[in-house]
Amino acid sequence: MNRPAPGAIPDDASHELRLVTSQGPHGPVVALTGDLDYESAPQLLEALPKIDVPDGGGITLDLADVRFFDSGGINALLRARTALQDRGADLAVRRLSPVVERIFRITGLDTVLIPDEPPGTGTGTDPAAG
């Protein structure tokens, strides 16, 4: 039986980026689950333009279940924000997972994409917990 090296991230579906779109009170909400990184960022950037956004509205990204977030994820969020602004829409974020919240705070992204909840209120799982 092959076991991953200590500290290695298992190669399973739990790390693949999954997007589920629903209708929220202020427009579409896209819940992300898995890793938002260099490899998965194009998936997000391809999905957002296909979502119907009402005039003057926007898209909210729910990041509670993002397990891994790197510079590719940061870049994707900034590019998504710009693309939506070009369409006359906004990008909002909510329920940051602990790993996303930390990166937002370290990079200052929390001053550009301001979460709609105070820090520490995300309901994502602790990535250090396994």
Distances, alpha carbon 96 to alpha carbons 5, 35, 63, in Å? 29, 13, 5
Domains of the chain and CATH, by start: 15-122 (3.30.750.24)
Task: Identify any residues that bridge with 29 across adjacent strands, giving them in sequence order.
Answer: 22, 60
Say what the pTM is.
Answer: 0.80
110: nearest Cα among 122, 97, 101: 101
Sign of the dihedral defined by the CA atoms of residues 10, 69, 62, 65, in that order: positive
| Predicted confidence (pLDDT) per residue in 69-120, tens digit | 999 999 999 999 999 999 899 999 999 999 999 999 999 999 999 888 544 4
Pick left, alpha or beta for residue 44 (phi over 0 → left; psi -120 to 50 → alpha; otherwise beta).
alpha
Counting residues of the chain whose pLDDT is more than 70, the rounded percentage is: 78
d(CA 19, CA 116): 20
Average pLDDT over residues 27-39: 96
- Angle of the 98-107 helix axis to the 71-86 helix axis, nearest 10: 80
